[in-house]
Structure 1
Amino acid sequence: MVNVLADRGVAFASLHEGIDTSTSTGRLVFHIFAALAEFERELIAERAAVGRQAARARGRMGGQPAKLSNEQVALARARYEARDVTVAEIAKAFGVGRGTIYRALERP
C-alpha cells in the first residue's frame, strides 16, 4: 500500500514509530521493517508446514472429520444411482446437506 502511495507522490509518516518516507532515512527504516516482517511471515509459514507434515507422519490428517462413513457413502451412491429418491431426500435421511452428498458421490 505504501508503494502505491509513493507512486502517486504521497509520503507515509508514522507518528508513533517516527518513520517518515519523505526522507531517505525514513524510507530505509521502513524497508528494513518491511523486510523483517516478511522474514517473520515466512518463518511462521515454514514452521506451520513442518508441524503439519509431522502431524501427518503421526497419522493426523487435520480438517473437519468426514460427515459420512464409507458405508453411508456407498448407500447414498446406490440410492442416487437407482434414481428412486432425490438428493435432498438422501441428504435428509443422513442429516446432512445436499452439498455433502454431492461431494461424497465425487469421492472414489
Structure 2
Amino acid sequence: MTDILGYARVSTQQQDLDSQRHRLTKAGAIRIFEDVISGKIFDRPGLEELIAYARPNDLLCVVRLDRLGRSLKELLETVEYLKECKIGLMSLEEKIDTSSAAGELVFHAYRQHSCEKVL
C-alpha cells in the first residue's frame, strides 16, 4: 500500500509551518517530516529522515517544489534520488504526481519549461 509522506520546510524560526502541515494533512499525508533550515543549506535532516522511513512506492508530498530545492539543479538531483529509491513525488501547487506515467510527463514538461526560463 502506498503511503503519502509530507515534507514541510521553512527557512527561519520566524516562519510558520502550520499552513504547510494543514495542506499536507488534507492531501492525505500520514506523517509529516519537517526542517527549519535555509534553502541554501542542502543538509536537511527531516528530508533525510523521510527518505529513510519511506518504502518503495510511497509518495513524498510537498506543498511547492521549492520546498525540496532552491535551484533547478538541486531539485532535479533530489527527484532523481527519489526515483532511485522508488519514492514518488507529489507537489500540490504544481499538481505533479510522478507515481503515474502522466504525472512523470507533467514533471518533465515542468522541468523543460523551467530550463527554458533559465536560458
| Fold shared, TM-score > 0.5 on shorter chain | no
Q: Which has the higher contact order (CA 8 A, sep 6+)?
A: 2
Shorter-chain TM range is 0.3 to 0.5
Question: Which has the larger helix fraction?
Answer: 1
Question: Which has the larger strand fraction?
Answer: 2
TM (normalized to structure 2)? 0.34
